[in-house]
Structure 1
Amino acid sequence: MQQTINFAHRGASAYCPENTMAAFRRAIELGATGIETDVQRTKDGRLVLIHDESLKRTTGDARLVKDVDYSELSALDAGSWFSDSFAGERIPLLEELLELAKDTELVINLELKNGVVPYEGIEAEVISMVQEYELGERIILSSFNHYSLVLCKEIAPEVKTGILYMEGLYQPWEYAKSIKANALHAYKYAVLPQWVQEAAGHGIAYHPFTVNDEIELERLLRFGVSGIITDYPDRLDAIMRRIERS
């Protein structure tokens, strides 16, 4: 039986400033077998890892990612908002994470943040970079923009895609098959054990988000989900080990 993927949400974001190399490295130390992060594009076309379209919350700069050249963005402090001990952490480039992952067995979930800002062509750019690092088999592309996921499959049918959604979709495995997606990245409350089993029977995986409570983590593990996205990879790792021993 394949082990559930322990996806660290924006890295180990309970312990480090989200979507920084510090958070990604810490995630590995805490037992993560996957990393979930967010991809956007700077004004001059660099692919960077940041959740919000605005730089305000994590750097104090009120501009949008799309309006800032990488040279300026890379100088911003993306760590101090979380803790003074992380002062000087930067917003990483996608290739920095791929370089880190290259010599590991990490599964990387790249969320394309192209719902508010369209970022035309970002699908092809991300896929090209993933292929350049020969990591295609360990990448999942997810998005709330499902047209984007369809385009990813058109560009590279072999790439894995995950449908992000919040509500209780009716027979989501059928919808997933209709757009050739591989996984359902459902909000944690939109997951029931019978749905997990039904989806698995159709070859569709469940990777619920964002699950931090230990009781919820254990319940979803017992449902048989294929992966869980969490801010606390150490909690999930400990529960998985306990279940394995029992």
Structure 2
Amino acid sequence: MAIESPNYRPLVFAHRGASGVCFENTMSAFKEALRQGADGIELDVQLTADGVPVIIHDKDLNRVAGIRNPVSTLTLSELKEVKVGRKFFRKFNGHQIPTLSEVVSFCAINHLALNIELKETVSERPEYLRDILDMALLLDQVHISSFDAGILEQVKMMEPSLEIAFLVKKKTTDWDDLGKYKFADGFHLSKSLMQEPYLSKLKNSGKILRVYGVTGKEDSVLNPSPSIIGWITDYPGRFT
């Protein structure tokens, strides 16, 4: 729903926390997002071998920890021994991978909204979806997002009241029939899609919109469309 108030400001979600200045998807990044005045946090959820939802973007640990093991092959206790961070600083200044439960508690205490993006291992093991949704429902302001339409359809069937956001793509989304995504309350789009013909089609869909990849310097940020209810950014401090 478009917000027409002249005082309306899209909510600012810190992408993987304040990842422009802190290492992504860590408690340090989430705490810095709070310090910078973010309204909420966007994060990624994968599953461990023992089915615990943890906060990491990739399916494996290679990029963030220099280890080739898939996240889904390690138990939570094993994963907690892994340090993630920038390549040459992990050994001495690395971070633990947080659990979804830890971040939900952090958001509840600090009154932060939460955007939970479901990643590949959740799609592969939907039997753990109930656990994720039970955690999400502890928060007043929360929505579930994913590139996977199938897992979002399952979420909507299980919890119709939860807000669902489908991450659209230029090549794979059916732009001629956005109405087919009936499970979605909103669409999340890259700022690269803030152009025609995509933008008009998204605005005409009647769905709420959030835009990711913005840095705070774009004209669209300075003069936001009333269709856009949220920014997802690595630099939340530039918006607040």
Q: State the TM-score, normalizing by the size of structure 2.
A: 0.86
Quickly say closer, same or farther: Cα 1:196–1:50, change in 2 above 3 A: same
Secondary structure at 1:222's aligned position in 2? coil
Secondary structure at 2:214's aligned position in 1? coil
Tell me what 1:3 maps to.
9
Match of 1:30, as an amino acid? Q
Check the 8 A contact 1:217/1:236 in 2, yes or no.
no
Q: Are residues 1:175 and 2:180 paired? A: yes
Check the 8 A contact 1:172/1:184 in 2, yes or no.
no
Equivalent of residue 71 in structure 1, options 77, 84, 100 = 77
Quickly say closer, same or farther: Cα 1:38–1:86, change in 2 above 3 A: farther
Q: Are residues 1:92 and 2:93 paired? A: no
Q: Are residues 1:114 and 2:120 paired? A: yes
The residue correspondences of 1:1-246 to structure 2 (distance < 5 A) are 1=5, 2-81=8-87, 83=89, 87-114=93-120, 118-131=124-137, 134-135=138-139, 137-167=140-170, 169-170=174-175, 174-176=179-181, 178-179=182-183, 181-192=184-195, 194-195=200-201, 197-199=203-205, 202=206, 204-212=207-215, 214-216=217-219, 218=221, 221-224=223-226, 225-237=228-240
Check the 8 A contact 2:59/2:121 in 1, yes or no.
no
Quickly say closer, same or farther: Cα 1:234–1:52, change in 2 above 3 A: same
Secondary structure at 2:179's aligned position in 1? helix
**In 2, Cα distance between the equivalents of 1:197 and 1:109?**
21
Mark the runs of 5 or more structure 2 residues left unpaired by the alignment: none
Check the 8 A contact 2:45/2:122 in 1, yes or no.
no
**In 2, Cα distance between the equivalents of 1:83 and 1:159?**
39
**In 2, Cα distance between the equivalents of 1:154 and 1:184?**
18
Match of 1:163, as an amino acid? F
State the number of aligned residues. 228
Once the two structures are TM-superposed, the CA of residue 78 in structure 1 deviates from its matched residue by 1.1
**In 1, Cα distance between the equivalents of 2:213 and 2:164?**
18
Match of 1:170, as an amino acid? W
Higher relative CO (Cα under 8 Å, sequence separation at least 6) belongs to: 2
**In 1, Cα distance between the equivalents of 2:113 and 2:215?**
19
Check the 8 A contact 2:83/2:91 in 1, yes or no.
no
Match of 2:175, as an amino acid? Y
Quickly say closer, same or farther: Cα 1:85–1:66, change in 2 above 3 A: closer
Tell me what 1:242 maps to.
none
**In 2, Cα distance between the equivalents of 1:71 and 1:22?**
20
Mark the runs of 5 or more structure 1 residues left unpaired by the alignment: 238-246
Check the 8 A contact 1:214/1:236 in 2, yes or no.
no
**In 1, Cα distance between the equivalents of 2:92 and 2:114?**
24
Q: State the TM-score, normalizing by the size of structure 1.
A: 0.84
Range that drifts further, 149-158 or 77-86? 77-86
Once the two structures are TM-superposed, the CA of residue 143 in structure 1 deviates from its matched residue by 0.6
Q: Quick check: which one's helix share is greater?
A: 1
**In 2, Cα distance between the equivalents of 1:39 and 1:89?**
17
Check the 8 A contact 1:40/1:119 in 2, yes or no.
no
**In 2, Cα distance between the equivalents of 1:83 and 1:157?**
44
C-alpha RMSD of the superposition: 2.4
